[in-house]
A and B are shown apart, each in its own frame.
Chain A
Amino acid sequence: MSRDDARAVLALEDGIVFIGKRFGRIGETSGEVVFNTALCGYQEVLTDPSYRGQIVTMTYPHIGNYGVNRDDVESSRPQVAGFVVREISTAASSWRAAGELNRYLDEAGIVGVSEIDTRMLTRHLRTHGAKRGVISTSGDDPSALVERARRAPSMIGADLAREVTCAAPHHYRDGVRTPDGSAPYRVVAYDFGMKENILRMLTLAGCDVTILPATTPAAEALALDPEGIFFSNGPGDPEACAYAVAAGRELIQSGRPLFGICLGHQILGLACGGTTFKLKYGHRGGNHPVKNLATGQVEITAQNHGFAVDPALFDRSEYVLTHLNLNDGTVEGFRHRDLPVFSVQYHPEASPGPHDSHYLFREFVARMAERRAPRDRAGSGRR
């Protein structure tokens, strides 16, 4: 392989060009270029549907060290539009490794570029905001690539949830057991690009989950008589998901426990009458401090979002801010004053990231248990 064959170029819409080495699939890709500061967990990042349409830059320079394995996946395949690293490992060192990252990406058709100054790229994105970009191994003139980057679709107004959601309602896993031995909680989960670990966490907490396509009308969901409703994470602009916002509005009023994460949280924010806005360069990583305003505790959280809920929502009295980002003061969670509706912007399911916020899944179950309790007392009993 001659040197030029090994070359890959990352071109941004504002004319900045990085020349590096290619890895993964030969070809070209475009998307919104963002950065993630997590030190490990690249396989979970790659397979997280929330990264649909995005070229992800890992700020930690060595990526691929422990290879890839069968378990650490958040969906069936890599979802990113492209991948940017300082150095991709030529070794896969782990007792769980099933292969090397480079080959995994090639097989999944993901185009990547390495050996570029990823810190410079990160600083650029931090200063100038997330940018559309193109990674190409074609050898085309960089100015042509910049042009193509400018023509790439914008994240604003992009309804990507529709692309990554499931085709039809389906049941997640049988044989769910609750920690206290009571009957599993019937939960419907709106799949806007749901991470596998959310399902694992819900199941672990005792939820029997039915996964619904993103566009499922509220009435259809309620027809399943769920004890709780879950709004998942996902990619894109929440404002583009009007169908889900409409469903959210109805479901909130159903009085059933409703829990949202990430895009699900943003959609609920809109359903509550709030607005969302695009952050300059988003939050992506596993070290963001979030304060739980009820307990005063600080949780170190996993984050992956480019949009946020505007705090003006809390000027209205029925919604309460519950979680606050300590780095930039953005909204990280809220709840309804009276109804069992709550959501967080960050990722309590982690994967990758710290497990400080797993309690939220238990809270969701607790809300459902509270609703069961009066019936229990009335003797209508468990099934």
Chain B
Amino acid sequence: MPRDRSIESVLVIGSGPIVIGQACEFDYSGTQAVKALKAEGIRVSLVNSNPATIMTDPEYADRTYVEPLTPDVVEAILERERPHAVLPTVGGQTALNLAVALSSRGVLDRLGIRLIGASRRAVEVGEDRRLFKEAMARIGLDVPRSGFATTVDEARRVLDVTGLPAVIRPSYTLGGTGGGIAYNAEEFEEAAARGLDLSPVHEILIEESVIGWKEYELEVMRDAADNFVVICSIENFDPMGIHTGDSVTVAPAQTLTDREYQAMRNAARAIIREVGVETGGSNIQFAVDPETGRMVVIEMNPRVSRSSALASKATGFPIAKIAALLAIGYRLDEIPNDITRVTPASFEPVLDYVVVKIPRWAFEKFRDVSPRLGTQMKSVGEVMAIGRTFKEALQKGLRGLETGHGGFGRRDLDDARIREKLLTPDPDRILYVKRALELGWDHALIHRMTGIDGWFLDQIQQIAAMKERIEPSMDADTLREAKRMGFSDARIGELLGTGEGAVRARRHLAGIRPVYKRVDTCAAEFESHTPYLYSTYETECEADPTDRRKVLILGSGPNRIGQGIEFDYCCCHGSFAFKEEGFETIMVNCNPETVSTDYDTSDRLYFEPLTFEDVMNVIERERPEGVVIQFGGQTPLRLAVPLHRAGVRILGTSPDAIDLAEDRRRFSALLTELGIPQPESGTAVSLEEATRIATRIGYPVLVRPSYVLGGRAMAIVYDESHLEEYVREAVKASPEHPILIDRFLEDAYEVDVDAVADGERVVIGGILEHIEEAGIHSGDSSAVLPTFQIPERHLETLRDHTRRLGLAIGVRGLMNVQFAIKDDVVSVLEVNPRASRTVPFISKATGVPLAKVAARVMAGRTLAEQGLTADLAVDRFFIKASVFPFLKFPGSDILLGPEMKSTGEVMGISENFGLAFAKAQAGAGSTVPTSGVAFVSVHDHDKKAVLPLARALHEMEFTIVATRGTAAFLNERGVPAEMVYKVNEGRPNIVDRIKSHGIDVIINTPLGEASFYDDGAIRKNAILYGVLCTTTMTAAAATVEAIRALRARTQVDVVSLQEIHAARAAASRPPAGHLSIQVGGAP
């Protein structure tokens, strides 16, 4: 059955902002899908609120809507575009849920639009536990025994079915709170009673415990002719009980016999049929009892998933692309395999290597959150490594995490805690498993405590045994054996006490160098035409470098808070631009979720950790003209100096210029020389020095380790005792670098400037004004382009400073400058001579791809030659809002500060400031209400400013409730406000009101350190209950403006980037909107 010609236009739904559990793998899948559909001549429209994605680049879809992913908005887009079909299977659960909502509302039927890829029924069966269980029963498959109960009596009856231990899950509690596991009858009664109490519908699910069972996933595809293939099998190193997103996972499955594997495959085939996924990919999870082999089905996702992105990278089989082609009617055997070119996609990839995925967490940013791993996913990124053995892949993966040790090298393990660490999984568990093995713990015992399969333990045991043989007198064969097991030069150097360089030299002397093997989907059975490579220590090398002009682009490694999709976006753009300039492009990265690690993004892909050793090995093999380090964030930037010292040419801004901007002393001297104001600052390497500096410049001070991204370990310190505490933490956070201490400019306005420079000229891409107060990390703050309340004279100063800095530092490529404006003085906070988080945002707004421009500068083309001489401008408001992971971290404090905590961002676009803000909020998941109850509680010095806002709310028929002081203040001035208790004043208090859904919007500025925790409770519950909460007067004013705009709006307005850019090209004009409420104390 060839392509369905009745589908001429398709709307693809993206997944929105990056959140835990739904990250840039959906940019990868969406981009593949859009490209595949376009190549078929289909008119593609796309909606995704996340501007940092490649898929929302205007050249991919015909119409690209960076709009909130809400049913109203997508309905408006469907009304405008009238596509023949909607493809919801490449945008995560977000897209599926939207599709179901549109279907339920009757929108699809009304407009005659088909859902392709997955039917509404398939989505519902995949999501609903009861329906899924019934479906499995129909096809005779086993699931964990379970039942629902609404009383303790009923619960006891269910227990007869499930047996002990049993898992108790209260229905409809937020973040899965109140769940637990019971090992005996007494615990069960307790847990059941508590669960019933916590559940708003007084219902619990009681499930047979499969904790500790072996966990497997199959990535499968099916076409409309019922052809079915398994793309990849995945075995979890961490057993059931730890979310697969938080598990170390391995492809292919390692410990299944063919008999068991085929039983699983048959089950998967029956499931995808029964659930009714007519075309596309699905992910199906299984648990296997390690004692008896009993297999149960856990769940299935009728869509492209995080695991399918991993499976695509692990096998070379592009699942999302194929899923898109299947959705428009193709059959698997009609689609060629890109890698072999001669064989069809209707086959099952085989591997001749091992793939290991290791999650990366961000617990260091959420200190009050338990790092304990469980069924709720908590990791923010992942690294994938390929090796010829599990041992090699595991050690490559561990060093790819960039957690400061070359694999298993951490020395701060506490032997006394092994037992506890094995029993209670956290990110360090694998390190403790190895430690236990080193100490001779029995495999069976470790297996009982962790559920980790004996085969994996045996593999790690071999690594432990190898370590013992690494000694100065070892011969070349032993060194080679260690390299074959994945030991890094750095780790071997550490064990020998000689350092990495000496090991490298010794290795080269002995002729021990890695070779590169290809990922080819077929274990070498057919020739591969795609240079997708990984390193290993074997005999034959398949790199086969060309003699073309070539550049190497270093990616950004695993996603983490502060270094995510934005940098991958820049790396991809760098690659595209160099390709257009006639260079061969070579990407090095180890993040399986990204577009940059798609095999057709660059000419060549090396799937390698971003360490000096691994990168240098590729450079020695490929001999590129230069290396691009300014797109991948701090990860490649850290390699600038070592690579430069090794004689590698760094393209663009020189390592010395980078150092000039990053080294506080040099940078400070430069600012003084240029006569540009800066907050008073100093650099300390000891506590004494830190105290001295802080006393000199005066508290509060902003402290941080040098060379960090995302405000890692950055803090505002108000007094000496906190400073002392901090210095001890910070030294741990970044041992090689000193601590920077800056005067903290309280109540300043902060501004981000992104620019591109070629050594002769600096062109400003955009000036973003932060909506939150100073002291909140720029990655967390809402921001608006263009600025909306900064006088022109300050804008002039910003531009002038940016230009002079760019030229003085010698930036060739991208730069980002952060300014603070206070008391009419514009100070420079920092300059980052690299891609910044806001580059994709500004590129989407202006229609000028800044990273590509920068890459062309690196390739030798001046800005003038590129026709880019004037600063860029926009003709409407583009507002960025950030998205936070607090919901996934019950108990965490929601207060924002200088340490970045957001995982993603969205863009709201409108000619009206208020609407742009409302859209940004909607995109980020908060609803701006148009009526209801507003809670107002502000610091004394904000009271004057809040008055007009409260009055406006009152005039818009909001009921106002306020804490005692604020209520009195408002009532005295003629704004009726009802008094509500603070948390510690009595009941019902404000938190009770929030919990009973009695509050629609919150204006709450911090009341100072005294009521810190009170405020925390309000913000926490605001997030849990989805109430829009603003913590600054600027944000409050913007919110009121948004309410006003929404009330005045007559219809949902949507606009595509292509229309915006065309309009700007047609006529340059200033933004039309303006703030009707001015906030007091504008700079």
Contact = CB atoms under 8 A, between A and B. Distances in A.
A62 B390 contact: yes
A352 interface: yes
B319 to A, nearest CB: 16
Contact of A66 (B257, B539, B540): B257
A218 interface: no
Most buried by A among B225, B253, B254: B254
A119 interface: yes
A70 B459 CA distance: 25
Most buried by A among B258, B290, B346, B540: B258
A120 B525 contact: no
Interface string B293-337: 100000000000000000000000000000000000001110000
B257 A41 contact: yes
Interface string A289-301: 1010000111010
A288 interface: yes
A59 interface: yes
A353 B258 contact: yes
Contacts of B346: 289, 298, 300, 326
Interface in A254-281: none
Contact of A93 (B225, B262, B455): B455
A41 to B, nearest CB: 3
Interface in A84-129: 86-87, 89-91, 93-96, 116-120, 122-123, 126
Nearest to B226: A297
Interface in A130-165: none
B522 A37 contact: yes
Nearest to B387: A61
Main secondary structure of the interface of A (DSSP, over half): loop
A59 B262 contact: no
B755 to A, nearest CB: 48
Main secondary structure of the interface of B (DSSP, over half): loop
B525 A43 contact: no
B352 A118 contact: yes
Nearest to B349: A287
A55 interface: no
Nearest to B390: A62
Nearest to A325: B343
A350 B352 CA distance: 21
Interface string B220-257: 00000111110001000000000000000000111111
A71 B347 contact: no
A66 B225 CA distance: 36
A93 B454 contact: yes
A355 B258 contact: no
B293 A96 contact: yes
Given A117-B538, A354-B262, A65 B254 contact: yes
Contacts of A44: 258
Nearest to B517: A119
A298 B223 CA distance: 10
A120 B262 CA distance: 29
Nearest to B524: A122
Contacts of B233: 39
Interface residues of B, number: 59
Contact of B257 (A18, A94, A118, A123): A94
Contact of B388 (A40, A61, A300, A352): A61
Contacts of A116: 539
Nearest to A327: B343
Nearest to B521: A287
B290 to A, nearest CB: 6
A349 B160 CA distance: 41
Contacts of A119: 352, 388, 517, 523-524, 538, 540
Contact of B539 (A96, A117, A126, A353): A117
Nearest to A97: B257
B348 interface: yes
B978 to A, nearest CB: 66
A69 interface: yes
A285 B343 CA distance: 15
A316 interface: no
B347 A327 contact: yes
B453 interface: yes
Contacts of A382: none
A65 B255 contact: yes
Most buried by A among B229, B344, B524: B524
A317 to B, nearest CB: 27
Contact of B351 (A3, A18, A39, A288): A39
B259 interface: yes
Interface string A48-81: 0000000000011110011001011000000000
B347 A40 contact: no
Most buried by B among A87, A122, A298: A298
A296 B347 contact: no
Nearest to A45: B258
B342 interface: yes
A86 B227 contact: no
A376 B526 CA distance: 52
Interface string B270-295: 00000000000000000000111100
A40 B258 contact: yes
Contacts of A123: 524, 540, 542
Nearest to B542: A123
B348 A95 contact: no
Given A354-B265, A355-B262, A95 B525 contact: no
A38 interface: yes
A89 B458 contact: yes
Contacts of B349: 287
Contact of A326 (B343, B458, B542): B343
B539 A288 contact: no
Given A39-B351, A289-B333, A298-B333, A59 B344 contact: no
A286 interface: yes
B389 A62 contact: yes
B350 interface: yes
A289 B257 contact: no
B525 A122 contact: yes
Contact of B258 (A38, A61, A90): A38
A215 interface: no
B721 interface: no
B293 A95 contact: yes
A69 B457 CA distance: 21
A288 B228 CA distance: 13
Contacts of A62: 254, 354, 389-390
Contacts of A86: 388-389
B3 to A, nearest CB: 16
A351 interface: yes
A37 B351 CA distance: 8
A120 B540 contact: yes
Contact of A72 (B257, B523, B539): B257
Contacts of A287: 347-350, 522
Contact of A117 (B261, B342, B523, B540): B540
Contacts of A35: 524-525
Given A286-B348, A297-B226, 12 more contacts: A35-B525, A44-B258, A60-B350, A61-B389, A62-B254, A62-B354, A93-B458, A95-B290, A117-B538, A119-B352, A126-B526, A354-B348
In the A-B complex, the 4 residue pairs with the smallest Cβ-Cβ separation, listed nearest first, are A41-B258, A91-B458, A352-B258, A120-B540
28 contacts: A35-B525, A38-B350, A39-B253, A39-B351, A40-B257, A41-B258, A59-B525, A62-B254, A62-B354, A65-B254, A94-B255, A95-B293, A117-B538, A119-B388, A122-B523, A123-B540, A123-B542, A126-B527, A285-B523, A286-B348, A286-B350, A287-B347, A300-B229, A327-B526, A350-B258, A351-B258, A352-B258, A356-B228
